[in-house]
Amino acid sequence: MASFLWTLCLGFLFLASGTMSAAPRKPVDVPFGRNYVPTWAFDHINYLNGGTEIQLKLDKYTGTGFQSKGSYLFGHFSMNIKMVPGDSAGTVTAFYLSSQNSEHDEIDFEFLGTRTGQPYILQTNVYTGGKGDREQRIYLWFDPTKDYHTYSVLWNTFLIVYFVDDVPIRVFKNSKDLGVRYPFNQPMKIYSSLWNADDWATRGGLEKTDWSKAPFVASYKGFHIDGCEESVNARFCKTQGKRWWDQKEFQDLDAQQYDKLRWVRQKYTIYNYCTDRARFPTMAPECKRDQDI
C-alpha cells in the first residue's frame, strides 16, 4: 500500500500510506521540446526517437546544455539519464534547478566523471539566498552508464528530497526557525548540461580529461515536470497549498524511506559538509536536523 501511493503520485516507488488520486502518474515518453529548449552549442545535441530521447555531446571545443521553458515554484521534477560511459574523467553531467538572480536558490545534482573502472561520484548541493557550500557526495550502487536511471527532486514548503530511482539520498528540511533561508519565493528553471571541469571534478583536478576519448556523450529521456509554473517575478504560487506535493503525505519521509536514506548514508556517502570540521569548524544550523537522520 505504501509503495502504491508514491507510484501513483510521483511515478516512483516512494513509500507512504494511503492513496492520493489528485497526483498524476508520471508521463511516458514526453518529447524534449514540450518543456525544454537548448541553451548553447545547439549542434552538440542529438535528437532520437521523435525527440523523446536526446544526447548531449562534449568535445574539446565545447559542451552543451538545455533549460526548461517555464519557471516553477515547488513541484516534482525528474530526468532519466544514462551517464557518459568509459573514461569520463574531468567531465560533469549536471541536472539542477536554479532561480535567476544573484541571491539565487539552487538544487543540484552533479555527476562527476571517472577513470574507466572507477565508480561515478554523485555530488548534491543546495543554495539558498546565494549561499551554497552544502555539498554531499555519494557513490552510486550501480553503474549509471549501463542503463537509464531516474534522478528526481521533490520540492515543497517543508523539504527538498533528492531521489535516485526510488531511493531518497538526501533531505534538506525547511529550517527557517533556525535562521536558515529556504527556497520558497523564487521560481526556478530546470537545467542540464555536459561540460568540462577537469580543474576540480575528478580527484580534485588531479585527473584531466583525455580528449582522445571524445566525444563524450550523456543520454536523456523522461523529461518529467509536475510543478507550479510562474513567472520569474512571482513571489508565491497561486496554487500554493492546493497541489499534491503540499499535502501531509509529502511533508516528511516515512520510516521505510528513512531506513533507505540511512542505508545510503552508511554504505555510500563519502562526504558530508555537516561532518567536515576542518572546513566548517562551526556546524551549520541546518545540520542539526541532518544529524537526526
List the catalytic residues: 106, 110
Radius of gyration of the chain from Cα atoms?
A: 18
| Cell 539519464 found at | 81
DSSP for 177-204, please give it.
GGT---S-SS-BEEEEEEEE-TTTTTGG
Q: Is the dihedral of CA 243, 248, 251, 252 positive or negative?
A: negative
For residue 25, list its beta bridge partners. none
Q: How far is CA 149 from the centre of its chain?
A: 12
CB-based burial, 173-184: b 16+ in 10 Å, e otherwise: bbbeeeebbbbb
**Do 201 and 94 meet the contact criterion of CB atoms below 8 Å apart?**
no
